[in-house]
């Protein structure tokens, strides 16, 4: 069991980490080489057997005030090997780590995705006279629902209030950027496990999920949480299908219902993907589904080959239907999975 876990950790590091996240890579490999750490994880519930859970548990303890040399690895200027300190912290706080592994769910909310979602919500808004009902399905803490409260720079275009507390940016690799703000008449986040970021402990767990290599992501996340606390969006705990159906029923009928998913449908099984799309397109009201997902997740979209050498990316897709309208599926462009760049074809 522990040998298989160690192999999984090394494969994860090979595929997903170095050189994108060298500190987390070193921590993951050190954990794989440490039989006691592997045994600690093997004793936890099986769905926690990943490097993400261990990294988050260690980071959470540091953010909770545990004084340990591993804290240096989360500082921007760190230049060393965090592996030994990572294992030392985990084994020195084994009971607390086991408790976190048993009770917490790995669930991120990447607010920089908003930088590539916002211009497309604006673009949808520009196609209709009515304001939008925005439903962020799989919203996590709901940070992306607040897209119009952030200042966003995409190439030489700017969106959102100039005095916003959080500034986001994306490189523009192609296509026009719609800067005129969409009118949002109603909004709701839905998640099977919504995070209440106004609760300091839940916010700390969200922060703990950020890898040590990305202090800029942590700073963005904290600024977004501060913004959310000023006026939190309504979040509903529900599974995807029930949450979609109730949001479509509750949103005012004169608004165009725009359902946003960002790296969510990717987690659905085939049956749920089918039922989700059928509920959306068969709704009694006009609906639009803006998907930021791995290519192929939204069925039957004519998606071109991805640009050479761009690495991992998200396909942006719009599917419209509902109210007996003919179904239309459009590929809108490619983006970086965390919103670092956008390359639109619309
Ligand atoms: C990778 S996170 C993405 C969160 C957010 N959309 C973002 O872009 O940062 C996936 C989210 O989808 C939610 N999720 C996954 N499957 C779900 C389901 N069947 N019903 C409701 N929420 C689901 C998870 O709880 C999690 O919050």
pLDDT of 121 reads 98
- Percent of the chain, pLDDT > 70? 100
pLDDT for 96 equals: 98
Residue 311 has pLDDT above 90, yes or no: no
- The position carrying tokens 């979209």 is 301
The third-level CATH classification (topology) of the domain covering 111-196+232-344 is Rossmann fold (3.40.50)
pLDDT above 90 covers a percentage of the chain that reads 93
Q: What is the mean pLDDT of residues 202-213?
A: 96
CA–centroid distance, residue 124 to ligand 1 (Å): 23
Helices (H), the chain: 2-12, 22-32, 35-42, 51-63, 83-92, 94-103, 114-126, 200-208, 215-230, 240-250, 270-281
Q: What is the mean pLDDT of residues 166-183?
A: 96
Q: Where are the domains of the chain?
A: 2-103, 111-196+232-344
Q: Two tokens at 329? A: 């599926």
pLDDT of residue 138: 98
Q: pLDDT (tens digit, 9 = 90+) per residue, 242-253? A: 999 999 999 999
pLDDT of 262 above 80 = yes
346 pLDDT tier (thresholds 50, 70, 90): confident
Answer whether residue 52 shows pLDDT above 90.
yes
Q: In what order do the strands lie in the sheet with 341-344?
A: 157-159, 151-154, 167-174, 341-344, 328-335, 314-321, 287-293, 256-262, 132-137, 184-191, 235-237
pLDDT digits (tens, 9 = 90+) for 67-77: 999 999 999 99
State if residue 140 touches ligand 1 by the CB under 6 angstroms criterion: yes
- Residues 332 and 144 sit within 8 Å (Cβ to Cβ): no
* Ligand 1 center from residue 138 Cα (angstroms): 3
The H or E element containing residue 139 is: none
The number of beta carbons lying within 10 Å of the beta carbon of residue 45 is 10
Q: Select from 191, 246, 271, 276 the residue to mutate for testing ligand 1; criterion: most ligand atoms less than 8 Å from CB.
A: 191
DSSP assignment of 185-197 equals EEEEEEESS---T
Long-range contact list for 7-13, CB < 8 A, 24+ apart?
7/32, 8/49, 8/50, 9/38, 9/51, 12/50, 12/51, 13/51
What mean pLDDT do residues 115-133 have? 97
Asked if residue 332 lies in contact with residue 343, where contact means CB atoms within 8 angstroms, the answer is no
Q: Worst-scoring range by mean pLDDT, 50-54, 212-216, 229-233, 288-292?
A: 212-216
pLDDT for the residue 80: 95
Any atom of ligand 1 within 6 Å of the Cβ of 235: no
Quote the CA–CA distance of 125 and 81 in Å, as a whole number.
49
Gap from CA of 213 to ligand 1 centroid (Å): 23
Structure tokens at 5: 């876990």
The conformation of residue 306, written as its DSSP 8-state character, comes to P
Of 269, 271, 169, the residue nearest 220 (C-alpha): 169
Q: Give distance in angstroms: CA of 77 to centre of ligand 1.
A: 32
Quote the CA–CA distance of 35 and 208 in Å, as a whole number. 24
Q: What's the mean pLDDT in 35-41?
A: 97
| Residue 308 φ then ψ, to 5° | -60, 140
């Amino acid at each position: 069991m522990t040998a298989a876990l160690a192999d999984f950790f090394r494969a994860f590091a090979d595929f997903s980490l170095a050189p994108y996240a060298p500190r987390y890579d070193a921590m993951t490999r050190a954990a794989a080489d440490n039989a006691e750490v592997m045994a600690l994880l093997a004793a936890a519930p099986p769905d926690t057997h990943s490097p993400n859970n261990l990294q988050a548990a260690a980071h959470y303890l540091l953010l909770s005030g545990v004084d340990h040399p591993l804290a240096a690895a989360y500082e921007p200027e760190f230049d060393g090997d965090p592996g030994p300190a990572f294992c030392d912290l985990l084994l020195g706080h084994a009971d607390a780590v086991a408790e976190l592994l048993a009770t917490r769910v790995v669930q991120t909310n990447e607010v920089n995705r908003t930088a590539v979602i916002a211009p497309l919500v604006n673009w949808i808004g520009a196609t209709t006279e009515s304001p939008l009902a925005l439903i962020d399905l799989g919203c996590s803490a709901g940070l992306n629902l607040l897209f119009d409260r952030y200042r966003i720079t995409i190439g030489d275009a700017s969106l959102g209030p100039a005095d916003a507390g959080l500034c986001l940016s994306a490189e523009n690799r192609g296509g026009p950027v719609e800067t005129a703000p969409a009118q949002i008449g109603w909004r709701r986040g839905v998640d099977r496990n919504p995070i209440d970021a106004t609760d300091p402990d839940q916010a700390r767990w969200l922060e703990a999920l950020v890898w040590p290599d990305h202090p800029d992501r942590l700073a963005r996340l904290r600024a977004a949480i501060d913004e959310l606390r000023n006026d939190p969006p309504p979040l509903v705990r529900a599974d995807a299908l029930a949450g979609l159906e109730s949001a479509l029923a509750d949103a005012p009928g004169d608004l165009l219902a725009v359902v946003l998913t960002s790296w969510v449908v990717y987690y659905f099984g085939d049956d749920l993907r089918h039922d989700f799309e059928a509920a959306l397109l068969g709704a009694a009201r006009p609906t639009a589904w803006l998907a930021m997902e791995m290519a192929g997740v939204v069925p039957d979209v004519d998606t071109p080959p991805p640009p050479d050498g761009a690495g991992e990316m998200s396909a942006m897709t719009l599917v419209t239907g509902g109210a007996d309208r003919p179904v239309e599926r459009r590929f809108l462009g490619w983006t970086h999975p965390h919103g670092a760049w956008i390359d639109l074809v619309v």
